[in-house]
Structure formats: structure tokens, C-alpha cells
């Protein structure tokens, strides 16, 4: 006679090893990983998975986008504001290749994604079958890991491994390609979460000697400057960062993707680094005697000419990815590891300090920038509306506490410079790849990820039209996304470069645009068009008060420029104010 223990064990085993199809195994695996929201577009090779999804609609909320690129960008927006892994379904062939841009964007910007693509039957692989592409070969350089599943039995382990790799260490995208016969085949399902993979070491042990060396440099520095990157946000190390900065008194500047890692009004926050960053942190980089890079990778838009970068400074680099150490800027003291772990070790050992005189030098730079750039941008004497004043009106309307999503271009830089932040994970933008069309689907994903927070998308008339079809997804989901379209009838950033460096030869950058309000109305999205400063404040308030998606189209000056600007090939200290 069975004992009670034996019965319980057999029941548990039966539950764990239920017989099912590969497609149902995908659903069960996602549920085991805590997934409740995913984005995608069905097609022939992924159809068995969608058939299984039909029976899980009460547990897995699937968002039907209008284009596969939109699915990946929406998943990115969701991942960036929640810290969770974004999930997408796409079909084979064009479905998979349409997802490539988003996957590449996620790779460069360290966004955790799991993309599941359908594939033709395993017997047809390599035959140029209908809608067959080698998506594993195509995506190998732009994923942390990818794998083709040809047997149903492999599905649970492949998905478990995918989630572990996507979210661990430096996050990134993973692709699992599943053949159609593997989706149909039956097997005994068993799910085992993965917490390690042979030869994959997502975190390095923190070297105590390197920490001690870094502490010594920090304590001796007279003009230290901390550079804050997205690694702080990805590692949820915002509190650890503030503890370190408050104890040391060191001025801190953030990268584009590091925005919102600390409050905008934090006394030691000296602004944004880089090509269109603030004057102070750019010119003072070459006066600093110590650079402390925290979770950032020295992107070329931050460094300018590397031969002329931080010429007087020692460099301490806190970084989770060994591949980034010495890749661009030599680190005198590299501290490998998650900044959430390494920062407290530094904070514990550094001396309490203050750098008021050094901070004062940044404030002097702020006065110059305010006089020459910020005040004329926010309070222009000319008739045309500026992008900066529109951004500032919106941030004030939301008390500096909205999630800001941008597309790519001039508006992106204006939003990054003039929006203010109170809490982390409040900026979603395409940094490293600079993907036009990112904004609209990413804003949708951000709103679905954080439905209680207001989401404001700043987008230009060029990028808006690249993924404008996702208005249909916003209409279907009724997502409350506020869209601020800054319309100058130009591809603004390219035009600015043509003005400054190509003698105003505006080759193929002027746009003849459609009636955006009519298009929005067709998608059931309310909105209005503003071309006068007198109407701006009231229009922004109407947008904020409206329940549901809203398109606020603002006609801005056609040839407005975003400054400061570090010209390509120049030193950061050669930043232009005009």
C-alpha cells in the first residue's frame, strides 16, 4: 500500500512531467519564468505556438503589433521601465528579419529580451523553403546567445537558458528559433530553471586590491568627476550610487542612457555628457585629475576624439562586462563586477570629502550655458516655437515625474536636455544604434509595463512615420500614451549637420508631410495641432487631462539647432555653443 509521501511525490512528478506539444511547452515555460505580457505577430511557421496561446489568453496577455520591428521595440520599452525580460513572437523569413533592427538595438543598449521565432520544418532546413531564412546566422552577431530548436524535448531547457542569459550579467537579447515540427511534437514536459551555464560567467568576483587602489585614487583626487551610465539603472544600484556620491562629494555627470539614475535636481548632478551634453561636464573632463566611470562604456558620443580625452586624468572603471575594459579608454584601475556590489565596497572605504570649489567651476559653466543657450531656447524672442520650450512645458505639467520616451533625432537631444527626472527608469530611448521609429512602439511597451505612470513620447515627423502603423496597436489596446510630435518638416538632425558642415546643402532632408491629425483621428486617437506660443500651455494641459492616447502636434521652427555640440573628431573640450 502506498504511503502518503509516495502518493504526493508521484502527483508532483505527474504535474511536472505532463505530456504536451512543443507549442504548449512554450506557454508553460514562459509562465514558469513569470511572463504575463508579450508582443508579436503571427505567421505560418509560428502558427502552432499561437494556437497554443489561444488556450492561455487568461494568463498570457499578447499584444498584436502592426509590424515585427514594433514588437521588439515595444518589448524593449516594457523591459526598460520594469527591469523584466521583454518577450516577442515572430514568424520565419520576413517576420524574423523584420525583428533584426530591434534585436540589434537591444544588444547595443543592453536590453533583456527573449525573441521566439518560428521556423520551417526541420526536414526543409537548407532547401530555400517558403519563408525560410537562416535567422540564427543572421542574428548571431547581435544576440547574447541564439539557438535553433529541432526537437520538442529541447524547448524547456532552451527557454530557461534564454531567460537566464538575457537577464544576467550585462543584459541583452536572446533568440530561440523553433522548427514547426518541434512545435507540433508531443513529449513529457519538465521545466528546470537555469541558474548557471558552463563557460558563461555573467559576474566577476570583485578584486579587493583593485577596490583599494581605486579608493586611494579617489581620496587623493582634487578634481574627480564621476560618469554615470546605464549600468547603475540595470543593476538597480541607484541608492548605492547616491551613498557613494554624497560621501565623496564628487560631481557626477550622466550619459544619455544613464539619465534618471539620480534626480535631476541632485546638487552634485552636473548634467549630461557627450556630443549634445552640457557645457560643464564636457569642458571640465580634460581638467579632471580622476575619472570614475560607473556602469558606462565610453561610447564615442561621450568621448569625442579619444586621443584628446581626459588628458590629465587617471581612470577608474567600474564595469560588469570585461570586454568593455580598455576597449576605448585605458583604465588605470578596472573594478570588474556589478556596480551594485562594487559601489558599496568603495563607499565603505573612501574618506568623507567635499569638492565645493570644483563643483563651483561647473556652476560657472552653467551660467555661460544658461546665458548663451538655455535661456534663448526656453524664452525665445523670435516667433517660432522651439523644441526646448515645448519639452520644458511638458515636464512642468507632469511635475518632472513622467516616463519619457523618445525617438531619434534633434527632439531626442532636446528631451534629454530639458526634461527633468525624479525617479529612475524614467527615460526610454535608442542610444547606441540610434533607431528612428523606435519611439512609438517603445512608448506603448513602456505604458503597458508601468500603467500607473504617465508616459510621454517625444517624436519627430521623420521617425514618427517609420512606425506610424503602431497607432493601430495603441488604438486596439487603448494604451494611454501621450505623443508630442515636434514637427519641423525636416529630418532635423541631418539638416543641422548639413547646415554646419555641408554649407547648407539640404539634400533629401525636407519632408512634405501628411495631415497627422487626420491620420490619428482614423486610429481613434484624439489630438490637436499647435503653431502658436499663446496656445501651447493650454494645449499641454488638455493633453495631460485627456483620458486616453493623445497626439499633440507642435509646429516648431524649421531650422532650429540643438547646442552645445561636439563636432565629430573634436575633443570634448572643443564643444561648440553656437
Instruction: Based on the fold, state whether residues 415 and 312 are members of the same structural domain.
Output: no
User: Could you tell me the residue range of the domain that residue 235 belongs to?
Assistant: 208-361
Boundary residue ending a domain (328, 361, 394):
361
Q: Give domain status of residue 336, yes or no.
A: yes
The CATH code of the domain that includes 522 is: 3.40.50.970
Cell numbers given for 56: 492561455
Boundary residue ending a domain (131, 158, 189):
189
Instruction: Based on the fold, state whether residues 401 and 538 are members of the same structural domain.
Output: yes
Instruction: Based on the fold, state whether residues 164 and 252 are members of the same structural domain.
Output: no
Instruction: Based on the fold, state whether residues 224 and 322 are members of the same structural domain.
Output: yes
Instruction: Based on the fold, state whether residues 521 and 445 are members of the same structural domain.
Output: yes
Boundary residue ending a domain (162, 189, 216):
189
Q: Give domain status of residue 565, yes or no.
A: no
pLDDT in tens, the chain (578 residues): 344 444 444 444 444 679 999 999 999 999 999 999 999 999 999 999 999 999 999 999 999 999 999 999 999 999 999 999 999 999 999 999 999 999 999 999 999 999 999 999 999 999 999 999 999 999 999 999 999 999 999 999 999 999 999 999 999 999 999 999 999 999 999 999 999 999 999 989 999 999 999 999 999 999 999 999 999 999 999 999 999 999 999 999 999 999 999 999 999 999 999 999 999 999 999 999 999 999 999 999 999 999 999 999 999 999 999 999 999 999 999 999 999 999 999 999 999 999 999 999 999 999 999 999 999 999 998 889 999 999 999 999 999 999 999 999 999 999 999 999 999 999 999 999 999 999 999 999 999 999 999 999 999 999 999 999 999 999 999 999 999 999 999 998 999 989 889 999 999 999 999 999 999 999 999 999 999 999 999 999 999 999 999 999 999 999 899 999 999 889 998 899 98
Whether residue 564 is preceded by a cis peptide bond, meaning omega within 30 degrees of 0, is yes
Q: Give domain status of residue 196, yes or no.
A: no
Residue with cell 488556450: 55
The catalytically annotated residue of 272, 296, 466, 493 is 493
Q: Enter the pTM of the model.
A: 0.95
- Number of C-beta neighbours around residue 275 at 10 A: 23
Q: Identify whether 563 is a catalytic site residue.
A: no
β strands within 180-310, DSSP E:
186-188, 224-228, 252-254, 269-272, 290-294
Task: Tell me if 45 sits within 8 A of 119, measured CB to CB.
Answer: yes
By DSSP bridging, strand 19-21 and strand 186-188 are antiparallel
Q: Identify whether 375 is a catalytic site residue.
A: no
Helices 339-349, 208-220: inter-axial angle, 10-degree rounding: 50
Closest by CA position to 33, among listed 168, 152, 192: 192
Instruction: Based on the fold, state whether residues 215 and 179 are members of the same structural domain.
Output: no
Specify which residues 86 forms β-bridges with. 113
Q: Identify whether 130 is a catalytic site residue.
A: yes
pLDDT at 390: 97
Query: What CA–CA distance (Å, rounded) separates 407 from 489?
Result: 16
The catalytically annotated residue of 84, 144, 161, 180 is 180
Q: Give domain status of residue 203, yes or no.
A: no
Instruction: Based on the fold, state whether residues 427 and 455 are members of the same structural domain.
Output: yes
Question: Which strands make up the sheet holding 455-460, listed edge to edge?
Answer: 427-428, 403-406, 455-460, 481-487, 550-555, 526-530
Q: Identify whether 238 is a catalytic site residue.
A: no
Tally of domains in the chain: 3
Q: Identify whether 419 is a catalytic site residue.
A: no
Instruction: Based on the fold, state whether residues 165 and 31 are members of the same structural domain.
Output: yes
Closest by CA position to 101, among listed 428, 432, 435: 435
Q: Give domain status of residue 323, yes or no.
A: yes
Please tell me whether residue 207 adopts helix, strand or coil conformation. Answer: coil
Query: What CA–CA distance (Å, rounded) separates 87 from 35?
Result: 8
Q: Give domain status of residue 261, yes or no.
A: yes
Instruction: Based on the fold, state whether residues 33 and 158 are members of the same structural domain.
Output: yes
For residues 265, 214, 339 and 442, what is the CA-based torsion angle, rounded to 10 degrees?
60
Q: Give domain status of residue 11, yes or no.
A: no
Give the DSSP per-residue string, 32-71. Answer: HTT--EEEE---GGGHHHHHHHGGGTTT-EEEE-SSHHHH
The catalytically annotated residue of 24, 33, 68, 470 is 68
Eight-class DSSP state of 117: E
Query: What CA–CA distance (Å, rounded) separates 471 from 395?
Result: 23
Instruction: Based on the fold, state whether residues 133 and 224 are members of the same structural domain.
Output: no
For residue 566, give Cα distances in angstroms to 87, 500, 572. 37, 12, 6
Query: What CA–CA distance (Å, rounded) separates 327 from 322?
Result: 9
Q: Give domain status of residue 202, yes or no.
A: no
Instruction: Based on the fold, state whether residues 63 and 172 are members of the same structural domain.
Output: yes
The CATH code of the domain that includes 291 is: 3.40.50.1220
Instruction: Based on the fold, state whether residues 215 and 185 are members of the same structural domain.
Output: no
The catalytically annotated residue of 130, 186, 201, 375 is 130
Cell numbers given for 48: 502552432
Amino acid at each position: 500500500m502506498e504511503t502518503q509521501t509516495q502518493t504526493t511525490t508521484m502527483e508532483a512528478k505527474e504535474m511536472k512531467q505532463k505530456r504536451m506539444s512543443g507549442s504548449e511547452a512554450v506557454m508553460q515555460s514562459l509562465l514558469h519564468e513569470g511572463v504575463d505580457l508579450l508582443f508579436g505577430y503571427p505567421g505560418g511557421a509560428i502558427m502552432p505556438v499561437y494556437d497554443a496561446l489561444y488556450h492561455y489568453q487568461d494568463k498570457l496577455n499578447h499584444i498584436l503589433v502592426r509590424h515585427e520591428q514594433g514588437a521588439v521595440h515595444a518589448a524593449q520599452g516594457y523591459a526598460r521601465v520594469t527591469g523584466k525580460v521583454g518577450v516577442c513572437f515572430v514568424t520565419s523569413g520576413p517576420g524574423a528579419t523584420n525583428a533584426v533592427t530591434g534585436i540589434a538595438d537591444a544588444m547595443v543598449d543592453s536590453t533583456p529580451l527573449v525573441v521566439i521565432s518560428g521556423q520551417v520544418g526541420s526536414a526543409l532546413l537548407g532547401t530555400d523553403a517558403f519563408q525560410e531564412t537562416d535567422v540564427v546566422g543572421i542574428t548571431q552577431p547581435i544576440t547574447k546567445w541564439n539557438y535553433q530548436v529541432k526537437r520538442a524535448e529541447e524547448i524547456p531547457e532552451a527557454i530557461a537558458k534564454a531567460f537566464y542569459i538575457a537577464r544576467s550579467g550585462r543584459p541583452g537579447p536572446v533568440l530561440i528559433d523553433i522548427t514547426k515540427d518541434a512545435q507540433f511534437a508531443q513529449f513529457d514536459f519538465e521545466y528546470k530553471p537555469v541558474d548557471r551555464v558552463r563557460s558563461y560567467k555573467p559576474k566577476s568576483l570583485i578584486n579587493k586590491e583593485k577596490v583599494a587602489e581605486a579608493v586611494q585614487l579617489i581620496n587623493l583626487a582634487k578634481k574627480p568627476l564621476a560618469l554615470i551610465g546605464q549600468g547603475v539603472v540595470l543593476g538597480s544600484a541607484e541608492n548605492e550610487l547616491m551613498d557613494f556620491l554624497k560621501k565623496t562629494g564628487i560631481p557626477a555627470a550622466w550619459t544619455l542612457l544613464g539619465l534618471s539614475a539620480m534626480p535631476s535636481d541632485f546638487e552634485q548632478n552636473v548634467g549630461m555628457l557627450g556630443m549634445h551634453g552640457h557645457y560643464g561636464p564636457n569642458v571640465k573632463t580634460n581638467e579632471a585629475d580622476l575619472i570614475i566611470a560607473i556602469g558606462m562604456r565610453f561610447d564615442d558620443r561621450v568621448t569625442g576624439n579619444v586621443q584628446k580625452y581626459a588628458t590629465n586624468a587617471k581612470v577608474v572603471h567600474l564595469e560588469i562586462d570585461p570586454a568593455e575594459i580598455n576597449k576605448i579608454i585605458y583604465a588605470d584601475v578596472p573594478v570588474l563586477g556589478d556596480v551594485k556590489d562594487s559601489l558599496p565596497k568603495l563607499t565603505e572605504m573612501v574618506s568623507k570629502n567635499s569638492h565645493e570649489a570644483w563643483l563651483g567651476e561647473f556652476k560657472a559653466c552653467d551660467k555661460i550655458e544658461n546665458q548663451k543657450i538655455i535661456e534663448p531656447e526656453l524664452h525665445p524672442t523670435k516667433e517660432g516655437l522651439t523644441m526646448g520650450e515645448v519639452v520644458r512645458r511638458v515636464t512642468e505639467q507632469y511635475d518632472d515625474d513622467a516616463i519619457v520616451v523618445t525617438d531619434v533625432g534633434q527632439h531626442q537631444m532636446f528631451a534629454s536636455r530639458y526634461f527633468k527626472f525624479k525617479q529612475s527608469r524614467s527615460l526610454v530611448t535608442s542610444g547606441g544604434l540610434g533607431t528612428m521609429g523606435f519611439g512609438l512602439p517603445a512608448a506603448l511597451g513602456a505604458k503597458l509595463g508601468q500603467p500607473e505612470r504617465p508616459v510621454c513620447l517625444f517624436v519627430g515627423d521623420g521617425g514618427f512615420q517609420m512606425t506610424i502603423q503602431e497607432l493601430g496597436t495603441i488604438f486596439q489596446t487603448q494604451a494611454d500614451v501621450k505623443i508630442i510630435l515636434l514637427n519641423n518638416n525636416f529630418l532635423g538632425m541631418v539638416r543641422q549637420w548639413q547646415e554646419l558642415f555641408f554649407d547648407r546643402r539640404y539634400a533629401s532632408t525636407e519632408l512634405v508631410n501628411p495631415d497627422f491629425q487626420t491620420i490619428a483621428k482614423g486610429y481613434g486617437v484624439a489630438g490637436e495641432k499647435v503653431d502658436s506660443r499663446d496656445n501651447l500651455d493650454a494645449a499641454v494641459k488638455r493633453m495631460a487631462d485627456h483620458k486616453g492616447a493623445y497626439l499633440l502636434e507642435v509646429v516648431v521652427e524649421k531650422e532650429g539647432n540643438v547646442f552645445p555640440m561636439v563636432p565629430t573628431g573634436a575633443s570634448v573640450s572643443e564643444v561648440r555653443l553656437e
